[in-house]
Structure 1
Amino acid sequence: MNATRTLATTARVLTQIRHDPRTVGLLVVVPSLLIGLVAWIFTDTDVFATIGPAMLALFPFVVMFLVTSITTLRERRTGTLERLLSMPLGKGDFILGYTLAFGLLAVIQSLVASGYAIWVCGLTIKGDVWLLVAVAVTDAVLGSTLGLFASAFARTEFQVVQFMPAIVFPQILLGGIFLPRDQLPAGLKEISDWLPLSHAVDALNAVATNSHDAAYVGGQLLIIGAFAVGAVVVGALTLQRRTA
């Protein structure tokens, strides 16, 4: 891999997205609006204080997964990737460049969503706010890397959507969003331990309630980061030059 080529890919992706207002709105605005809708639904109750941290994990994760996977797939379907790889650009440069671009967008998205949840929707955070933001950012980056991973196997945008039930929905169901993971039936708790979104939800809840120290949250961040790196590596190894 070459740093210059990777950064050039990053700049190209960011330039393309900057000229697409709908994608920018989907990435930056929609997760905050969804969090606000959840807070509005549970006005005058304590429910949002309980599920709010999980929403910070859920909505950015799903949005980044969809946008990244579809954008990367479009590069293959239009032949852009094949033309790029005919030049001195390797698959690693391409994947890492996309990871950096969408990682930067994930940072912006998470900062906006976290700030909106805390200062507009009134989400109470008993721990350090910077830790909450760090987890939210890492979780959004995870969504991007899993999107890159899924795009390597999909042939159409419809197939990307089909990956949602296989990759995203099990993590939502078993991640502790609807039911605490320690209350899951035997077997499902063990499965949830191997799903990265579970660790993001655990870490966000730990920061929100200040129930664990920074070392615990740091350990969860390392697990999420390991999944993200693994998705990038597998995506680079399996990426096809174009879609038939």
Structure 2
Amino acid sequence: MNSRRTLATAARILSQVRHDPRTIVLLLVVPSLLIGLVAWIFSDTTSFSTVGPAMIALFPFIVMFLVTSITTLRERRTGTLERLLSMPLGKGDFILGYTLAFGLLAVVQSAIAVGYSVWVCGLTISGSIWLLLAVAVADAVLGTALGLLASAFANTEFQVVQFMPAIVFPQILLGGIFLPRDQLPNGLQQISDWLPLSHAIDALQAVASNSKDAAYIGGELLIIAAWILGAIVLGSVTLRRRTP
């Protein structure tokens, strides 16, 4: 892998996104609007303070997963990836370039979502807002990494969408949004412990309530980082030059 090629790939992706207003809106605006909708639903109650941190984890994760996986697959289906890999660019450079580009977008996306949740929707944060932002960014980058991995196995955009029930929906159902994870049946709780979105939701809720110390939050971030690294490595190994 070469850092110059990785940075060039990231710059190319960012340039493409910059010229696509719909993708910009989907990445930067839609997650905050969905969080605002949830806040509006619970406007007559205090429930948003409970579910708000989970929404910060959920919507950016889903959006980054979809946009990254479909964009990467399109590069392969149009032959762009095959042409790029015929040059000195390697698969690792390509995957890391995508991760860097969408990681930078994840920082902006998360900053908007956190700021909107706290200062517009009234989400109460007892802990550090900067730590909340750090976890939110890690969660969005996790969605990016899993999207890159899914794109390596999909042949069409429709197949990418089919990965949602397999990869994303179980994490939503078992992540503690509908029922606290410690109240799940024993087998489901053990499965939930292995799902990365569960740790992102736990960390965001812990920061919001200031119920855990920094060591706990750091441990959750390490688990998320391990999943990100594993998805990037596996995506690099399994990435195909062109869709058959």
Give the TM-score, by structure 1 length. 1.00
Counterpart position of 1:169: 169
Q: What secondary structure is seen at the aligned counterpart in 2 of 1:126?
A: coil
1:72 to 2:72 alignment: yes
1:238 to 2:238 alignment: yes
Counterpart position of 1:146: 146
User: Offset at 1:186?
Assistant: 1.4
The percent identity for this pair of structures is: 80
Written as runs of structure 1 = structure 2, the 5 A alignment for 1:1-244 is: 1-244=1-244
User: Offset at 1:44?
Assistant: 1.9
Deviations 1:4-42 (A, max 9, x none): 100000000000000000000000000000000000011
Q: What secondary structure is seen at the aligned counterpart in 1 of 2:177?
A: coil
Deviations 1:104-139 (A, max 9, x none): 000100000000000000000001111100000000
Q: 2:107 corresponds to which letter in structure 1?
A: V
Deviations 1:51-73 (A, max 9, x none): 00000000000000000000000
Deviations 1:157-196 (A, max 9, x none): 0000000000000000000111100000110000000000
Q: 2:196 corresponds to which letter in structure 1?
A: P
Q: What do you get for the CA RMSD once the two structures are aligned?
A: 0.4
C-alpha separation in 2, matches of 1:37 and 1:122: 13
C-alpha separation in 2, matches of 1:119 and 1:44: 18
Q: 1:150 corresponds to which letter in structure 2?
A: A
Report how many aligned residue pairs link the two structures.
244
User: Offset at 1:143?
Assistant: 0.1
> Can you give the 5+ residue segments of structure 1 that lack an aligned partner in the other structure?
none
Q: 1:163 corresponds to which letter in structure 2?
A: F
Q: What secondary structure is seen at the aligned counterpart in 2 of 1:152?
A: helix
C-alpha separation in 2, matches of 1:134 and 1:177: 20
Segments ≥4 residues shifted beyond 6 Å: none
Give the TM-score, by structure 2 length. 1.00
